[in-house]
Structure 1
Amino acid sequence: MPTNFALKEQFACAACGEDFARETVVQECRMCHRAYCEECIDDQGMCVPCKEKT
């Protein structure tokens, strides 16, 4: 059985659900630490869901 695992080439944004290529800018929310696309993170580093909670 092979021990090499291929890295996922697609990234699914936790907020908008869109799939992006791994080469796209992926950012981590400073509140929940989940990965989001650059469109779903504000200038302060908060994702859309966390921003709505505050």
Structure 2
Amino acid sequence: MVTELGAITEAEDLPPTKETQVTTQCIKDVNTAIGLLSWDYENPSNRTVRNT
């Protein structure tokens, strides 16, 4: 995420993020996405996987 613009030579090195923080954010994002997804089929024929 870009919070400000500046010369790359003046950029500050940020410390690495802890694994638990990344995992927690990923799980939060997935749970948010679940609520935004449609779990219904618009076309009933799409419900079955067919071997052709």
Which of the five TM-score ranges fits, normalised by the shorter chain?
under 0.3
Could you state the TM-score of these two structures normalised by the residue count of structure 1?
Answer: 0.21
Higher share of residues assigned strand: 1
Higher relative contact order (CA 8 A, sep 6+): 1
Could you state the TM-score of these two structures normalised by the residue count of structure 2?
Answer: 0.21
Tell me which structure has the larger Cα radius of gyration: 2
